[in-house]
Structure 1
Amino acid sequence: MRKRLIQIFAFLISSLGWVFVLCTMAMDFWRITQIGGQGGSFIIKVAWYWSNLWKDCFTDSTAVTNCRDFPVLWSVAAYVQGVRGLLMCGLTLGFFAVVLCFIGMDCTYIGGADKTKDKVLLAGSVFHIAGGVSDLAAYCLYINRIARTTFSARVGPGVLRYDLGPPLFLGLVGCFLIFLGAVMYAVTVFRVFCPKSQVVYAYGGGTYMNPRSRGRTLYTGYYRPAGQYASYMGSGRSSSSKISKLSQTTPTKNSLRDAFV
């Protein structure tokens, strides 16, 4: 029951993370900067320059926005193309990860035996991690581009210094949720890495295996190694000789009883 709850919670967390990442691709204000109205200036008009993965825009104080859509693919800046490609790759891996994890969860009745479902769930968690790394690389690439321009001392006075926008922070939170869900998936199927080991003892030319059940009956009994019990200090006869003598006398008693009957 605890395993199912952890898997359901991991499914919700990881799915929410992918929703965050998907939303960032359509959001505005990936980078933003403003001009005027700062430091006690008497300039009333304030202008905002902002960009996303698809266009550059300008908004004035009257809330009028003018945008320039990015043209065809090969004329876009290289880092924007890289961010797009990494996000698309991460979302594709995330789709397969969600499907595999849904099949491998204990609360679903598809996927086969328990061992097979655990392997499928483990594969889904690996896809989650790979997709999360791809998305994280995309956000880090965009942040690095903004930071290089903002903190560079060689940038001229006419170059805009942008700040980080809300989609970047939302995407980083989404990556964290994806990694958290993948780790929770992997914790529930750690037996795939560390299967239960059985202790095997060797004694007297035979072997002894530690059984799964602790109970012991007349027909399912077993012999433990000689070191686990105290040695017999008796008249000198060993237990094996007694067992052989008992096996020799048993047929005689049975024959006398049959003759009497």
Structure 2
Amino acid sequence: MDPIVEVVAALLGFIGWVMVGVALPNRYWKTSTVDGNVITTSTLYENLWMSCATDSTGVHNCREFPSLFALSGYIQASRALMIASIVMGTFGLVTSLIGMQCCKAGGDNYVLKGRITAVGGVFFILQGLCTMISVSWYAFNITQDFFNPLYAGTKYEIGEGLYIGWCSGTLAICAGVCLLFACKSNSDDNKSAYPYQPSRGTIYSGAASRRDVASTYDKNAYV
């Protein structure tokens, strides 16, 4: 495997893992579209954990969701997927670092290190998929309520937390794909044929010819 590809993929995976940690506690997963009049201007915004409001004076008031079972199903699923994404990213970072050629933790068995790196790539892909499913599902419900003319509640728009999540998922998937393709190309190179070497029969025939020459020389020497 190319060490440069390993370093670039590990760097992309690390950035994606950090961005998941930034997106998860971000308060602006969705924001309100109507602020009210000039005097009582307020902005509503929510994430997976709480609902907040800010007024024209800059005072923020946040209220955590009281019960897990009282939440909508997509919020519960998004929570679980985001937490699973962080766990997968952690495993991906550890396995990819151990499998890198510049790391001595995995020994000098490069075949084993390549397989470990491939496992890290799989973890990165799973991290990206979990993140993408979580934020896309959350965004789908936002747009569904926004464009529903019969929806009487507060209509929200997509917040910055979702964009961070999409970027994180993209980076994680790119890192995993790079690791997998690099390991596959390395295994294909190892399967290439060895250079041609003469067979044992040829060696024996050469040895026999040398014996014939030696015997002839000995006979001529006594004449």
Q: Which residue of 2 aligns with 1:35?
A: 35
Q: Given the alignment of the two structures, is residue 155 of structure 1 paired with residue 155 of structure 2, yes or no?
A: no
Q: Which residue of 1 aligns with 2:134?
A: 138
Percentage of matched positions with identical amino acids: 24
Alignment partners' CA distance in 1, 2:31 and 2:8? 36
Please report the TM-score for the alignment, with normalisation by the length of structure 1.
Answer: 0.74
What does residue range 1-261 of structure 1 map to in structure 2 within 5 Å?
A: 3-33=2-32, 34-37=34-37, 43-112=38-107, 113-156=109-152, 159-191=153-185, 194-198=188-192, 211-212=194-195, 221=198, 249-250=212-213, 252-256=215-219, 259=222
Alignment partners' CA distance in 1, 2:181 and 2:105? 21
Computed over aligned residues only, the root mean square deviation of the Cα atoms, in angstroms, reads 2.7
Alignment partners' CA distance in 2, 1:187 and 1:94? 19
Q: CA 1:258/1:14 → structure 2, altered by over 3 Å: closer, same or farther?
A: same
Q: Deviations over 1:119-175 (max 9, x none)?
A: 11111101110121011110011001101100112213xx11100110100110111
Alignment partners' CA distance in 2, 1:82 and 1:252? 88
SS at match of 1:147: helix
Aligned-residue offset at 1:3: 1.4
Q: Deviations over 1:42-68 (max 9, x none)?
A: x34311111111111121111122222
Please report the TM-score for the alignment, with normalisation by the length of structure 2.
Answer: 0.86
Could you say which structure has the higher helix fraction? Answer: 2
Alignment partners' CA distance in 2, 1:136 and 1:111? 32
* Structure with larger Rg: 1
User: Please, which runs of 5 or more residues in structure 2 have no aligned partner?
Assistant: 201-205
SS at match of 1:75: coil
Alignment partners' CA distance in 2, 1:246 and 1:192? 43
Aligned residue pairs, count:
216
Aligned-residue offset at 1:35: 2.0
Aligned-residue offset at 1:254: 3.9
Q: Deviations over 1:182-235 (max 9, x none)?
A: 122223212355354456xxxxxxxxxxx427xxxxxx6469xxxxxxxxxxxx
Letter in 2 for 1:147: T
Alignment partners' CA distance in 2, 1:127 and 1:21? 14
User: Please, which runs of 5 or more residues in structure 1 have no aligned partner?
Assistant: 38-42, 200-210, 214-219, 224-242
Q: CA 1:75/1:258 → structure 2, altered by over 3 Å: closer, same or farther?
A: farther
Q: Deviations over 1:21-49 (max 9, x none)?
A: 11111111111113225xxxxx3431111
Q: CA 1:175/1:250 → structure 2, altered by over 3 Å: closer, same or farther?
A: same
Alignment partners' CA distance in 2, 1:195 and 1:162? 53
Alignment partners' CA distance in 1, 2:209 and 2:12? 67
Letter in 2 for 1:10: A
Q: CA 1:97/1:31 → structure 2, altered by over 3 Å: closer, same or farther?
A: same
Alignment partners' CA distance in 2, 1:110 and 1:57? 46
